[in-house]
Amino acid sequence: MTNLFTYRNRKVISLSDRAAAQSLVDAVLDGHLVNEVVYRDNWRTLAACIRFSDSLLILKIPRARNLRMWERCLSVFRGSDALRSFKHLQLMNEIGFAAPEPVLACEKRDAGFVTDSFLCYHYAEGQRAGTADAPKILDALRALHQKGYLRTDAQLANFLVQDDTVIFIDFRLKKPWLFSELKKAREIARFLRSCPEARRLLTTSEISSFWFRLAHRLEELSFAGRRFKRSIRKRKKVE
């Protein structure tokens, strides 16, 4: 059962009982955590594996999203990044796909704007996906698309594999209403960019599809644009 309550002037949503959820909020806010592994710690994000009450959890603090003014303005209508991620994890499990189990999301608002938030979910056991796992991942992506959803950012690095189970990580579930076939094809094209070996696994109808050919071209243009922006940033640093 999902618990929703206010604690320390913050909105909290949790699958734990209230006492356990409050203890976890206290530990995060007061810095009383045992860090097992810190995956990322910069101005954009804190992502770390923590130990809490003999459980391994992933803690994520979207620092950049909490600070950007336009993100704060959008939070008035859609909530924090942490709260939305919590609900996406819940939904992914509910529709029958493997994903980390959410534990708690917490957000603080000032004048209606989210100014601070964090997310905790259970550490998912599994190996980082490799090229040999491409058939299973493509099948999982196709199955998700048949349910009417996109996972977004379908890179090989954003999947774990445990035995024959594909575990979705670092995703944002979306249900496209316009150009759904193009968006699904583009998600496949994004996966192929991170795992070119998987192209041989596509069906003839997929490869010859107008939507896939268009998606592949759009993905190439998008990648070229990102590469150009990175080169501009590097030049500015040198100057």
User: Cα–Cα distance between 77 and 217 in angstroms, integer?
Assistant: 34
- Burial of 55 by CB count in 10 Å (0-12 exposed, 13-18 middle, 19+ buried)? middle
The CATH code that applies to domain 3-122 is 3.30.200
User: Cα–Cα distance between 184 and 168 in angstroms, integer?
Assistant: 16
**DSSP states along 73-137:** HHHHHH--HHHHHHHHHHHHHHTT-B-PPEEEEEEEEETTEEEEEEEEEEPPP-EEP-GGGHHHH
What residues does each domain of the chain span? Answer: 3-122, 127-236
CATH class for domain 127-236?
A: mainly alpha
**Amino acid identity of 231?**
S
Q: Which residues contact 197 (CB under 8 A, 6 or more apart)?
A: 131, 134
Q: Measured in whole angstroms, how far is the alpha carbon of residue 63 from the centre of its chain?
A: 15
What radius of gyration, in Å, describes the C-alpha atoms of the chain?
19
pLDDT in the model for residue 235:
74
pLDDT, tens digit, 9 for 90 and up, residues 44-72: 999 999 999 889 999 999 999 999 999 99
Q: Which residues contact 118 (CB under 8 A, 6 or more apart)?
A: 28, 59, 60, 61, 62, 82, 105, 106
pLDDT in the model for residue 43:
93
Q: Which residues of the chain have pLDDT under 70?
A: 236-239
Residue 113 sits at φ, ψ, to 5 deg, of -100, 140
Give the predicted TM-score (pTM) of the model.
0.91
pLDDT in the model for residue 227:
80
pLDDT in the model for residue 239:
63
The alpha helices in 127-209, defined as continuous H runs, are 134-146, 180-194, 204-208
pLDDT, tens digit, 9 for 90 and up, residues 167-203: 999 999 999 999 999 999 999 999 999 999 999 999 9
> Which residues on neighbouring strands pair with residue 5, listed in sequence order?
12
